[in-house]
Amino acid sequence: MPMCKRLALLIVISVLSAPAQSPKHGVGRKPTEQEMRALGVTVAPDGTGLPEGSGTVAEGRALFAQRCARCHGEKAEGNIGPALHGGQGSLATPKPRKTVGSFWPYAPKVWDYVNRAMPFDQPGLLTHSEVYSAVAFILFLNGLVGENEVLNAKSLAKIRMPNRDGFVPDPRPDIKRK
Amino acid sequence: MKKTSRRQALGAALGGGLLAGAGKARAEDARTLGKPLSGYSERSPFVKSMRSTRQSKTPEAGSSATPLAETYGIITPSALHYERHHSGVPAIDPAQHRLVIHGLVERPLILTMDDIRRLPSVSRIHFLECGGNSGGEWGPKTGPDAQRACGLASCSEWTGVPLRLILNEVGLKPNASWLIAEGADACRMQRSVPIVKALDDALLAYGQNGEPLRPGQGFPLRLLTPGWEGNGQVKWLRSLEVTDQPGMTRDETSKYSDLMPDGKARIFTLPQEAKSVVTFPSGGQTLPGPGLYELTGLAWTGKGRIVRVEVTFDGGHTWRDTRLDEPRFRMAFTRFRLPWRWDGKPATIASRATDESGYVQPTREQLIEARGMNSGYHFNGIKLWKIAADGIVTNADV
């Protein structure tokens, strides 16, 4: 390889790998396993990271009445908190209704959000299995699982949300100059 | 007799007049001492500017808007910086706070605030604007004043560590392309940041306007992605996970995405496009009568510097250039001013910003034409104010 080409390649490699250089400042330390666990669960859109545990629609219905209905309404029709079902087919109309069923693209992310942020006044209260139950009930209300569905890491990852392909990249600037 | 100059004579006459009045002073007219020195100052009791808040059954989730028309220059007082929270403001002891950087990295790291403050730092002036700022302007009932029309925007001097410096410490793996940032608020809010922005100008900020971050701004540590929508600039930052894909979190899919008339939603609409607003005269104010005023306002863009702000007095038919305050910082408020003599006739005024990318702030009608009425976020349209013959200034859209 001629020198100049080799040099160019070297520059390209060094630019690409610039962030992977050795640490310059040497601050901090490696987190312990305990510290990593304390970060809690983050679930990827494809379900990677979903923990053990399982829940049913029936358990979810009872849990919902107890913990969720106060804000979301008895039938999850929305109150202080948003409606959690309905609106499928409404997104391209003048009155779109964005709900879990009509708008959310990934079922595992419903689990992730309920687990990290609900119930509103005590996030983190629910066990992993309770979160599966709550999600099972919400998906049942949206017609996305049957009444006897048992949700766990495997079954939840398989559910395809109706609006899975409803998101597009940012095309801006999108204003035509006159 | 000593010769007195005209100036001395004048001074004596004026002083004599004042003294004649003071000479009648009774004991109770004696001046009282002011307040003693204090360790921390409060504003004058005559200054009443407040952020706007709404009554809510869940006051931990919501927003408060900056009274833009009651600020001077380009820096928003920290106590009036807009806030948007999803589960309240956590009370964090900085000695206990940790940031973990993990995922697709060679060397995961846990950092204390002391560790972070030992690293080379920078101070930069940047605006912050909620992706939902001016959301009401899409609808039929637009904001009656600058605060309620576009007050989810503020500008501060931020101090912190360039994020790329910390990413160099952990060493990115070749497939690293996104970061998932997580806050230590009760809902552990997450947003995804493209690694390109993280390696460009993103900061881990711990200082704001010369002091530590206010709790509502993420004390003790927040992410800053200059010029991008506020929601991604995660406060109370506790975790940065390096990944090969975005997290597709609730706040970047079901929220802060722009629903188009065809039912598709634009996702990751991150840079805030150029925007401006006249803050004087603006809705809710009254001009006491014809005569000279200084028209002024604020402009900003997520794509570098503001290069031009024009104003109209005839509802957009003709435009005049304003003077821009210097220096103009990248992704910061720019103050514009124009001496203006009001003739007492009704006028419809507005400002229009242009940034260094050549982008020109659009009208509300152009935005609606491009995106429909239901996109909800990222409104940056021209805001018109109507001045009536009696000097009362109102929102011109209603």
Residues in B 201-230 with any Cβ partner in A closer than 8 A: none
Residue positions counted in chain B: 398
Let me know whether B256 and B159 are in one domain. Answer: yes
3-state secondary structure of B138: helix
pLDDT (average), residues A111-117: 98
Looking at residue A21, its pLDDT comes to 62
Whether A177 is in a domain gets the answer no
Residues in B 291-350 with any Cβ partner in A closer than 8 A: none
Q: Under an 8 A CB cutoff, do A120 and B270 touch?
A: no
Let me know whether B107 and B239 are in one domain. Answer: yes
B119, B239, B254 member nearest A104 (Cβ): B254
B173 touches chain A (CB under 8 A): yes
Whether A75 is in a domain gets the answer yes
The overall average pLDDT reported for chain A is: 91
Helix, strand, coil shares of chain A, percent, nearest 5, are: 40, 5, 50
* CATH number of the domain that residue B176 is part of: 3.90.420.10
Residues of B in contact with A71 (CB under 8 A): 58
Looking at residue B23, its pLDDT comes to 60
Q: What digits encode the pLDDT tens for the residues B150-182?
A: 999 999 999 999 999 999 999 999 999 999 999
* CATH number of the domain that residue B372 is part of: 2.60.40.650
Secondary structure (DSSP) of B67-107:
-GGG--SSPPPGGGS-EEESS------TTT-EEEEEESBSS
- The whole-angstrom separation of Cα B53 and Cα B84 is 11
Q: Under an 8 A CB cutoff, do B111 and A27 touch?
A: yes
pLDDT (average), residues B355-369: 97
Whether A130 is in a domain gets the answer yes
- B381-384 contacts at long range (C-beta below 8 A, 24 or more positions apart): B381/B134, B381/B137, B382/B276, B382/B316, B382/B350, B382/B351, B382/B352, B383/B137, B383/B143, B383/B146, B383/B149, B383/B150, B383/B277, B383/B278, B383/B350, B383/B351, B384/B315, B384/B316, B384/B348, B384/B349, B384/B350
Let me know whether B361 and B223 are in one domain. Answer: no
Residues of B in contact with A125 (CB under 8 A): none
Percent of chain B with pLDDT over 90: 91
pLDDT (average), residues A129-140: 98
- Identify the CA nearest to B368 among candidates A103, A170, A175, A91: A175
Which residues touch B7 (CB under 8 Å, ≥6 apart)? none
pLDDT-derived band at A65, boundaries 50, 70, 90:
very high
Residues of B in contact with A20 (CB under 8 A): 106, 171-174
- Residue B389's alpha-carbon distances to A50, B151, B282, B289, B348, in angstroms, are 65, 27, 15, 9, 11
- The whole-angstrom separation of Cα A82 and Cα B201 is 36
pLDDT-derived band at B92, boundaries 50, 70, 90:
very high
A26, A166, A171 member nearest B265 (Cβ): A166
Looking at residue B8, its pLDDT comes to 47
pTM of the predicted model over 0.80: yes
Count of A-B CB contacts under 8 Å: 173
Range of the domain at B369: 275-395
Residues in A 106-135 with any Cβ partner in B closer than 8 A: 106, 109, 112-113, 116-117, 120, 123-124
Q: Under an 8 A CB cutoff, do A21 and B250 touch?
A: no
Q: Under an 8 A CB cutoff, do B169 and A27 touch?
A: yes
A31, A117, A175 member nearest B367 (Cβ): A175
Q: Which two tokens stand for residue B13?
A: 């006459």
Whether A95 is in a domain gets the answer yes
A49 touches chain B (CB under 8 A): no
Residue B162 identity (one-letter amino acid): P
Looking at residue A23, its pLDDT comes to 86
Whether A154 is in a domain gets the answer yes
Let me know whether B244 and B182 are in one domain. Answer: yes
Closest residue of A to B257, CA-based?
A: A167
Residue A71, pLDDT > 80, answer yes
Whether B8 is in a domain gets the answer no
Closest residue of B to A19, CA-based?
A: B168
B359 touches chain A (CB under 8 A): yes
Q: State how many domains chain A has.
A: 1
Whether B219 is in a domain gets the answer yes
pLDDT-derived band at B397, boundaries 50, 70, 90:
confident
- The whole-angstrom separation of Cα A100 and Cα B301 is 33
For residue B284, the 8-state DSSP code is T
Q: Which two tokens stand for residue A167?
A: 């998101």
Answer whether B192's CB lies under 8 Å from B97's CB: no
C-alpha dihedral, A122 to A123 to A125 to A129, nearest 10°: 150
For residue B282, the 8-state DSSP code is -
Looking at residue B28, its pLDDT comes to 73
Let me know whether B228 and B343 are in one domain. Answer: no
Whether A37 is in a domain gets the answer no
Whether A28 is in a domain gets the answer no
Let me know whether B203 and B328 are in one domain. Answer: no
Q: State how many domains chain B has.
A: 2
Residues of A in contact with B106 (CB under 8 A): 20
A173 touches chain B (CB under 8 A): yes
A42 touches chain B (CB under 8 A): yes
pLDDT-derived band at A1, boundaries 50, 70, 90:
very low
Given B242, B266, B290, the domain boundary residue is B266
Whether A77 is in a domain gets the answer yes
Q: Which two tokens stand for residue B64?
A: 């408060």
Percent of chain A with pLDDT over 70: 88
pLDDT (average), residues B209-226: 98
Given B213, B242, B266, the domain boundary residue is B266
Looking at residue B25, its pLDDT comes to 62
Q: Under an 8 A CB cutoff, do A166 and B111 touch?
A: no
3-state secondary structure of B224: strand
Given B266, B301, B318, the domain boundary residue is B266
Looking at residue A176, its pLDDT comes to 79
Residue B12, pLDDT > 80, answer no
Let me know whether B159 and B121 are in one domain. Answer: yes
pLDDT (average), residues B85-113: 98
* CATH number of the domain that residue A61 is part of: 1.10.760.10
Q: Under an 8 A CB cutoff, do A105 and B268 touch?
A: no
Residues in A 134-163 with any Cβ partner in B closer than 8 A: none
Let me know whether B194 and B310 are in one domain. Answer: no
Let me know whether B94 and B238 are in one domain. Answer: yes
B6 touches chain A (CB under 8 A): no
Q: Under an 8 A CB cutoff, do A106 and B253 touch?
A: yes
Q: What digits encode the pLDDT tens for the residues A7-23?
A: 444 444 444 444 446 88
Count of beta carbons in the 10 Å neighbourhood of residue B130: 24
pLDDT (average), residues B196-223: 98
Residues in B 70-129 with any Cβ partner in A closer than 8 A: 86-87, 98, 100, 102, 106-112, 115-116, 118-120
- The whole-angstrom separation of Cα B92 and Cα B113 is 12
Whether B29 is in a domain gets the answer no
B24 touches chain A (CB under 8 A): no
A21 touches chain B (CB under 8 A): yes
Q: Please classify residue B32 by burial: count the beta carbons closer than 10 Å to its beta carbon, then call 0-12 exposed, 13-18 middle and 19+ buried.
A: exposed
Range of the domain at A81: 54-158
Whether B169 is in a domain gets the answer yes
Query: CA of A74, closest CA in chain B: separation in Å?
Result: 18
Percent of chain A with pLDDT over 90: 85
The overall average pLDDT reported for chain B is: 94
Residue B381, pLDDT > 60, answer yes
- The whole-angstrom separation of Cα B178 and Cα B196 is 8
Which residues touch B312 (CB under 8 Å, ≥6 apart)? B318, B319, B320, B348, B349, B350, B352
